Amino acid sequence: MTVDYAFGHAMYADGKAAVEKAGGQVVGRVSFPFNPQDFASFLMPAQASGANILAMASTGGDTVSAIKQAHEFGLPDSGITLVGMLTFIADVHTLGLETAQGLYVASEYYWDQDDGSRAFAKRFYDVEKRMPTKLQAATYAAVRHYLKAIDAAGTDESIAVNNKMRELPVDFFGRKARIRKDGRVIYDLGLYQVKKPSESRAPWDYYKKIADIPGETSFRSETEGGCKLSSSTQ
């Protein structure tokens, strides 16, 4: 299910390529407009398609509404696994575990994955009274690395700082990451499944890890991206 604008179509194209590269098959596709109130006409073809996975190339309210209605129409009960291609822990919190259970998500950050992630999450929670999303955590790590690069370069001149950011190892909450010449940050991802209510031990205890996905295989290669910075000597 693809939200019908550039973001959704790009995510669908990348997702289809990854599925086929892994030996899978995309048996159907439906597109929906931004923020529909009724997903019935989009969910029914997916249910009838024979697919064992329904991947949602959408985000925010669209994903939340689609998951709610997928449960109302019984897709998970019929054996269809739901996958959120860009789903945040805030979306799971909005849905609640009763509805979100079984959903698969990929994330570079989960607040309870290790000591470094928990330390940042505690500081964030003390201020915001909720756990950080992967985007909020990545933004914090990016700004922190930028400031470190300014300190190491002794200047805030853009080219000098840019080069220094690529030279320095990125501290991603105690885990290693790096910045490629094209600007892409490479880090490991985790594949998670949303827990059943009976599996959750505390508030925000939502994910269980299914697999680690190495950073070197998680992202499009530099040659596929066509970025001029990849071949630049500067």
CB 177 within 8 A of CB 215: yes
Per DSSP, 176 falls in state E
Please choose, from the candidates 141, 119, 130, 118, the residue with its C-alpha nearest in 3D space to the C-alpha of residue 94. 130
CB 208 within 8 A of CB 193: yes
Higher pLDDT, 225 or 119: 119
pLDDT-derived band at 122 (thresholds 50, 70, 90) equals very high
Helix, strand, coil shares of the chain, percent, nearest 5, are: 45, 15, 35
Domains and CATH numbers, the chain: 2-109+188-218 (3.40.50.2300), 115-184 (no CATH)
Tokens found for residue 132: 């950080």
Threshold 0.85, pTM exceeds: yes
Tell me the per-residue pLDDT of 20-49, one tens digit each, with 9 for 90 and over: 999 999 999 999 999 999 999 999 999 999
Instruction: Report whether pLDDT(225) > 80.
Output: no
Question: For residue 40, what is the enclosing H or E element?
Answer: helix 40-48
pLDDT-derived band at 151 (thresholds 50, 70, 90) equals very high
Which 3 state secondary structure label does DSSP give 115?
A: helix
User: Cα-Cα-Cα-Cα dihedral of 105, 7, 5, 49, to 10°?
Assistant: -40
Return d(Cα 99, Cα 97) in angstroms, integer.
Answer: 5
Question: What pLDDT does 181 receive?
Answer: 86
